[in-house]
């Protein structure tokens, strides 16, 4: 190794000048800036310091550096965990409009909702706050951004390629906020932070406009998720159900608070029934107990509990003024439902329209 020998005063000054050039340290990140970075991004202290050091304590530049770093590290970690099995996760539901008679400011009489399954490797990560938030935001994005495809079907499977490329819209964002990351980028960023494989497995949207030429018909939407921990719209089993109210009295009685309260309880009980039983269809003439209408309505408390669902719906319609008697057409009916369980074979997905 060559040694530097100081032989004169000039050498001393020269050494001091050049050694300063080589050995000077960058300014240490300020504690307040580190705290601000972590508040905005939730990155680790070491990563916040690294970003600020690389950007000379410029907050905006540090945030930009973190964005670029996450893209690179997220892609690398996603590739690294690609072949792992992700059999845990969450079913997440988002309802933007629940149909006719919706609460003021919560829809226009049509239905707009979505359900997604987001998978991870362990139940521990499935209960992670960041994973839960991402699942909720993806469901919200699917419900908010999806358009009717021209199909007459109310339940439509989302293209995962299209959804992954869609800007992620948080359910907590202001409408004026411009999304900065796609769904796929957001998944990769969480992979980089958590270190587990995370994948969007499936998504379905329910899009139905309010019937314009049928004033005596109103569409309603019900949902329920079982196994919720922090969010009642997330869990291991989820169900969505499309219902119809058919009665000449619909336009008047829907404004009644009592009617809407009773209707809400019935809708939730129907969704819970679909989740709680081995429900595979809506109606069957053979008495098959996997048909919803043939099942004892155990999820509805009160005097109707335990009676066949179809019988209860008819009695409920009479009691609540949709029809006058057993002979009159109309009342409430289940038109369609979808039921998902985390990790189930895709071919077992329940998405049922009565024949």
Summarize pLDDT for 30-81 with one digit per residue, the tens. Answer: 788 888 888 877 677 888 888 888 888 888 888 888 777 777 776 776 777 7
Alpha-carbon gap, residue 351 to 345, rounded angstroms: 14
Q: How many residues does the chain have?
A: 355
Alpha-carbon gap, residue 53 to 34, rounded angstroms: 10
pLDDT band of 220, cuts 50, 70, 90: very high
- Give the lowest-confidence range in 168-172, 273-277, 306-310: 168-172
CATH topology match: 9-80 vs 88-352: no
Residue pointed to by tokens 């969480």 = 190
pLDDT band of 308, cuts 50, 70, 90: very high
Does the pLDDT at position 198 exceed 90? yes
> Collapsing DSSP states into helix, strand and coil, what is residue 148?
coil
User: For 152-160, what is the mean pLDDT?
Assistant: 90
Does the pLDDT at position 219 exceed 60? yes
The CATH number given to 9-80 is 1.10.8.10
Kindly list the domain boundaries of the chain, sorted by start residue. Answer: 9-80, 88-352
In this prediction, residue 104 carries a pLDDT of 40
Residue 259 makes CB contacts below 8 A (sequence gap 6+) with 253, 320, 321
Burial class (CB in 10 A: 0-12, 13-18, 19+), 346: exposed
Residue 34 makes CB contacts below 8 A (sequence gap 6+) with 45, 48, 49, 52
In this prediction, residue 347 carries a pLDDT of 65
Residue 295 makes CB contacts below 8 A (sequence gap 6+) with 273, 277, 279, 289, 308, 309
- Which percentage of the chain shows pLDDT scores above 70? 83
The CATH number given to 88-352 is 3.30.479.20
In this prediction, residue 132 carries a pLDDT of 96
In this prediction, residue 11 carries a pLDDT of 52
Summarize pLDDT for 13-36 with one digit per residue, the tens. Answer: 554 454 444 444 445 667 888 888
Alpha-carbon gap, residue 69 to 71, rounded angstroms: 5
User: For 228-240, what is the mean pLDDT?
Assistant: 94
In this prediction, residue 22 carries a pLDDT of 44
In this prediction, residue 197 carries a pLDDT of 93
Q: How far is CA 144 from CA 44, 223, 239, in A?
A: 32, 17, 19
> Collapsing DSSP states into helix, strand and coil, what is residue 202?
strand
Whole-model pTM: value is: 0.79
Q: What angle do CA 169, 173, 174 make, to 5 degrees?
A: 120
pLDDT band of 187, cuts 50, 70, 90: very high
In this prediction, residue 113 carries a pLDDT of 96
Instruction: Return the number of other C-beta atoms located less than 10 Å from residue 35's C-beta.
Output: 12
> Collapsing DSSP states into helix, strand and coil, what is residue 294?
helix
Lay out the sheet containing 88-98: strands in order across: 155-157, 199-208, 111-120, 88-98, 234-235
Q: Residue 139, Cα to own-chain centre: how many angstroms?
A: 3
Instruction: Return the number of other C-beta atoms located less than 10 Å from residue 14's C-beta.
Output: 13
Does the pLDDT at position 296 exceed 80? yes
What one-character-per-residue DSSP string does 167-190 give?
BP--TTS-TTPPP-SBHHHHHHHH
Does the pLDDT at position 92 exceed 60? yes
Highest mean pLDDT (candidates 22-31, 144-153, 161-170, 247-256): 161-170
User: For 4-10, what is the mean pLDDT?
Assistant: 46
Please, where are the H alpha helices in the chain?
A: 9-23, 31-41, 45-54, 59-80, 123-126, 129-145, 160-165, 183-194, 250-253, 257-276, 309-319
Does the pLDDT at position 5 exceed 60? no
In this prediction, residue 213 carries a pLDDT of 67
């Amino acid at each position: 190794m060559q040694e530097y020998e100081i032989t004169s005063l000039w050498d001393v000054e020269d050494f001091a000048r050049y050694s300063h050039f080589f050995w000077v340290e960058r300014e240490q990140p300020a504690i307040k800036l580190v705290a601000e970075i972590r508040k905005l991004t939730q990155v680790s202290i070491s990563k916040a310091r690294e970003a600020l050091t690389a950007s000379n304590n410029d907050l905006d530049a540090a945030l930009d550096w973190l964005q670029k770093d996450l893209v690179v590290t997220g892609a690398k970690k996603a590739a690294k965990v690609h072949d792992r099995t992700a059999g845990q996760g969450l079913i997440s539901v988002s309802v933007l409009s629940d149909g006719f008679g919706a609460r003021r400011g919560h829809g226009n009489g049509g239905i707009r909702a979505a359900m997604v399954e987001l998978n991870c490797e362990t139940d521990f990560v499935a209960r992670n706050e960041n994973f839960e938030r991402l699942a909720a935001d993806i469901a919200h994005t699917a419900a908010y951004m999806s358009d009717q495809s021209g199909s007459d079907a109310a339940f439509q499977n989302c293209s995962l390629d299209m959804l992954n490329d869609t800007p992620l819209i948080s359910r907590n964002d202001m409408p004026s906020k411009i999304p900065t990351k796609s769904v796929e980028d957001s998944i990769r960023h969480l992979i980089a932070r958590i270190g587990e494989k995370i994948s969007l497995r499936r998504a379905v949207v329910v899009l139905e406009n309010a019937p314009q030429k049928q004033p005596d018909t109103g569409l309603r939407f019900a949902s329920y998720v079982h196994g919720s921990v922090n969010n009642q719209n997330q869990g291991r089993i989820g169900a969505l159900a499309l219902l119809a109210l058919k009665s000449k009295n619909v336009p008047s009685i829907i404004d009644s608070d009592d009617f809407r309260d009773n209707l809400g309880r019935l809708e939730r009980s129907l969704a819970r029934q679909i989740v709680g039983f081995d429900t595979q269809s809506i109606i069957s003439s053979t008495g098959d107990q996997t048909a919803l209408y043939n099942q004892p309505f155990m999820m509805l408390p009160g005097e109707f509990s335990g009676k066949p669902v179809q019988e209860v719906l008819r009695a409920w319609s009479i009691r609540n003024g949709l029809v006058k008697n057993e002979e009159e057409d109309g009342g409430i009916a289940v038109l369609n439902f979808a039921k998902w369980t985390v990790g189930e074979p895709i071919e077992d997905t329940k998405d049922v329209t009565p024949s």
